[in-house]
A and B are shown apart, each in its own frame.
Chain A
Amino acid sequence: MTGTRHGHEPGVGGVGAVVRRHSDPALVTGHATFIDDIESGGTLHLAMVRSPFAHAEIKGVDASAALDLPGVHAVLTGAELVRHAKVQPVGWEHIDNQRAAPTYAMAVGKVRYCGQIVAAVAAESRALAEDAAELVEVDYEPLPVVHSIEDALAPDAPRLVPEWPDNVFGSQTYGNGDADAAFADAEVTVSERLTFGRQFGCPLEPRGAVATWERYTNRIELWINSQSPNRVREVVAEVLGVPVSGVRVRVPGIGGGFGSKANYYGEEILCCLLSRLTGRPVKYIEDRQESFVATSHAREQRIDVAVAATRDGVITALRGHIVGVLGGEISSVGMGPVWLSAVSIPGPYRIPNLELSVTGVLTNRTPYGSYRGWGAPKATFAMERIIERLARELGVDSNEIRRRNFVRPEEMPYSNGVFATLDSGRYEHCLDLCVERLRRDGWYRFREEARAAGRKVGIGVAAFVESTGIGPSRVMARLGIAQGGYDEAVVRMDSTGRVTVFTGQTEMGQGMSTTLAQLCADELNIPVDQITVVMGDTDACPYTGYGTGGSRAAAVGGVAVRQATGELKRQILRVASHQLEVDVADLEIADGLVQVRGLPGYGRTLADVAYAAYRRLTDVGEGTTPTLQGRAVFDPVALTYANGCAGVVVEVDPATGGVTVLGYVMVDDCGTMINPQIVDGQLHGGCAQAIGGALLEDLVYDRNGQLLTTTFMDYLLPTAMEVPPFSTVHVETPAPNTPGGMKGVGEAGTVPGPAAIAAAIDDAVDDPAVFVRHLPVSPEQVYRFCNAAG
């Protein structure tokens, strides 16, 4: 992706500047390249035969009619696959008693969820491949379906993995202090059972891959719209038994990821394998209906949460037990997101006694993986709901409870004894700003006036912290995650003085190519439009331990770019120092020159220094290595914690049960902001997803394990009518352990919204019997809240 000169503001455009994105001109004119735009001559197209049953033995597959169709090149089944491919690795093996459930790129012998791939058909066109897929005869013998947590945990439950004694994938308890004693001695205790529905990232562009397995070089070139090209490369190599160096993964423009494209899947393996079997490039583009059954699901959990407190509202202990509704196969992140929910429940609060547990159960549903926010939205939902419950019990304002329990800046770094070490932040200040903004925007007055007129308007607030900048490699290793948490970056100046940044991060709409260029511009003090960012090619770009996700691209990848730029700068100054016969310490880069401090204009142009370093070596002195290139690897020493507060205003219509979000304040501390406009954009998008998650989006299964919501008419994404204008407030508390102070902002918007919306609905209905315990809350439920209290 090259930088263009379209529309940059004058000046350098370094950290803190609103710089227009490099990628925009191609995108707004329809000339950007997405995965479906990649197609070389002779490409075959893949269509999948997907299981109509949620749980069944595969007795046989007859592909002869499909293979007879002219233009069909191959039909791959699980029986054939295992001759060429190993199991799909699980990256997260961090639960002590985590079991293994070997999962292949497609079903082998048995299907465990509706939509699981049973056969893959390669043909001259997608339409033909789909025709042929319909001709593949599969003989299924249906098995009893495990539909829910209750089903899965029943003593006589059918087992998804017959070798296991039950359907529990893993289970672990984490503790600090003495929760039992604190609950026994408590002046007040409250408890709730909450549930969060099944949802998924649902980027507007579905997943896709194009693979070419070169027969004679035995190299695989794989184009894929993945957030983790380095990981995909290693997985393809591992599963197909080729060296990592034999796989080149390339990433075109990505039409949104939201974590769902950070997981790796079977489809890319099938593309590679079918390319080898047919000798042709093979392309697969998931269609929308497939995306609902084939792209990682997320969010669904049952949460039992309780707190013990004093009559003054000081929380003394917290219990949280989470059961995650995993699918029929294990995704690449295992039960990572469910675990993170459990250990993150304490949030921004000082709670000395903790008992937190997590259990993952298999059900006959689509595998459970990553979605923006990972564990944090559910953890925040649990904590903020129980605070509301406690506030009601004590008859005080819930914000008072928050204030009494926030970890204060002077207590940081604060370890909660379980997982989090809160590094920085002004939580109470964020809450104050949120309330202040709600007031300034007129929402408290509006609520009173509306209520006086008989309308049901409510305001809800939720505070949050979110582990970002994932992750220090030491933490990853301690958790048993087979990935690093560092990032490598290379920054080069060419012989004309232009700079190219090479990164392992990927651009999926979050503006990363622009913000990385801004960090580089800032360090070198050169205009951002002279910097090109190259990403998405494992042959050309550096390695990243984890890829793009976990709000880490700026906080980890950005630091690596900054440090590599620093090294480049030292080299530039060294060359110039020789040219000018001035000490390095007396030189600076400004206005396109390497010049002597205090003597503006006295120096050499960057172009001249660069030319010398590459092409006029006589100028640079003995012992100086030609070329100009910095490389750095940054591995953070600790996680950092973005934080903030959301305030949401809703109106409930008692006649229809409809909930309208009228106002939305988002206060966010993402540390240092690189590009405030992009930060706002990230928050807006995340907040819209929070609204979807709280009110609209629900992957609904029937008792037979059939997914009922497989179109945009059934799975409702928020439109401009359901989303209000956003009012964002920024707090910049630099991350103490991140050079440059960035914390990360990719996920924050999704985190506090669901809890705040639940509180706002309670407030709008204003009935002591009503308490939102399940999200997304349906109009039917809200209607019952308003009309029968319950």
Chain B
Amino acid sequence: MSGETAITVSATVNGRRQTFTCEARETLADALRRRCQVRGVHLGCEHGVCGACTIRFDGVTARSCLMFAPQADGAEIVTVEGLADGDELHPLQEAFSRHHALQCGFCTPGFLMVAQELLAEGGPLTEEVVREAISGNICRCTGYHNIVEAILAVADARSGEAEK
């Protein structure tokens, strides 16, 4: 490791405790991809703008390309791989597919993580609120129209259930 100190990091990734060794300068995104084998963390810019690398870090979304791997020691991390319940897709994943809210799908993990956080906040969702919430993520394929629809559809289904 080019003479650098190797650092041991222990974190919970999608519910499983993982311990790995990394370089001090390694980004969390790289460590998750290469050492924890969660390949749904995508790298679109590595400078914190596109949101493709978004994960949930101790309960809040974070851009894993802007964090160092050693910062994850003791952390609770959820990536897109942690959303589905076995073979059962998360309602957002299901809605993204049904509404054609993904084309190449490279940005999708980031959008799903952000949308999941938005839904968890539980407030009423309008188109404006959704657009604002996802404005930190870039999608080059879809033009966002169907992403917004998919998120609103899940929100609507939830509020429908709540009223029952």
Instruction: Determine the chain B residues whose CB is within 8 A of the CB of A109 once the complex forms.
Output: none
Instruction: Determine the chain B residues whose CB is within 8 A of the CB of A34 once the complex forms.
Output: 39, 42, 106
Q: Is A713 interfacial (CB 8 A cutoff)?
A: yes
Q: Are B103 and A681 in contact (CB under 8 A)?
A: yes
Contact of A712 among B50, B80, B103 (CB under 8 A): B50
Docked Cα-Cα span, A749 to B103, in Å, equals 15
Q: Are A712 and B138 in contact (CB under 8 A)?
A: yes
A674-694 vs B, CB cutoff 8 Å, 1 = contact: the mask equals 000110110011111100000
Q: Are B80 and A30 in contact (CB under 8 A)?
A: yes
Q: Are A720 and B89 in contact (CB under 8 A)?
A: no
Q: Is B38 interfacial (CB 8 A cutoff)?
A: yes
A273-307 vs B, CB cutoff 8 Å, 1 = contact: the mask equals 00000000000000111000000000000000000
Q: Are A719 and B97 in contact (CB under 8 A)?
A: no
Q: Within B19-72, which residues are at the interface with A (CB < 8 Å)?
A: 23, 25-26, 33, 38-47, 49-50, 52
Docked Cα-Cα span, A255 to B93, in Å, equals 18
Contact of A685 among B39, B80, B108, B142 (CB under 8 A): B142
Q: Are A31 and B140 in contact (CB under 8 A)?
A: no
Contact of A205 among B41, B44, B142, B148 (CB under 8 A): B44
Q: Are B106 and A29 in contact (CB under 8 A)?
A: no
The DSSP consensus for interface residues of chain A is loop
A489-530 vs B, CB cutoff 8 Å, 1 = contact: the mask equals 000000000000000000011110000000000000000000
Interface 9-mer from B5-13, B117-125, B126-134, B156-164: B126-134
Q: Are B2 and A24 in contact (CB under 8 A)?
A: no
A719 touching B80 in the complex, CB below 8 Å, given contacts A7-B98, A34-B42: no
Q: Are A288 and B42 in contact (CB under 8 A)?
A: no
Query: B33 to chain A: closest CB distance in Å?
Result: 8
Contact of A256 among B40, B131, B141, B144 (CB under 8 A): B141
Q: Is A23 interfacial (CB 8 A cutoff)?
A: yes
Instruction: Determine the chain B residues whose CB is within 8 A of the CB of A70 once the complex forms.
Output: 2
Instruction: Determine the chain A residues whose CB is within 8 A of the CB of B94 once the complex forms.
Output: 7
Q: Is A368 interfacial (CB 8 A cutoff)?
A: no
CB closest chain-B residue, reference A23: B105
Q: Are B49 and A711 in contact (CB under 8 A)?
A: yes
Instruction: Determine the chain A residues whose CB is within 8 A of the CB of B89 once the complex forms.
Output: 25, 28-29
A127 touching B2 in the complex, CB below 8 Å, given contacts A30-B80, A688-B143, A717-B140: yes
Interface 9-mer from A78-86, A472-480, A532-540, A721-729: A721-729
Q: Is A258 interfacial (CB 8 A cutoff)?
A: yes
Docked Cα-Cα span, A508 to B141, in Å, equals 10
Residue picked from A34, A204, A723, A726, most chain B C-beta under 10 Å: A204
- Going nearest first, the 9 A-B pairs with the smallest beta carbon separation are A30-B40, A509-B104, A27-B105, A255-B106, A684-B143, A688-B143, A509-B103, A712-B49, A30-B80
26 sample A-B contacts, Cβ–Cβ < 8 Å, listed by A number = A28-B80, A28-B96, A28-B97, A29-B89, A30-B39, A30-B40, A30-B41, A32-B105, A127-B23, A131-B2, A204-B42, A204-B140, A254-B104, A256-B103, A288-B47, A677-B100, A711-B49, A713-B47, A717-B140, A719-B134, A720-B130, A720-B135, A720-B137, A720-B148, A721-B131, A725-B148
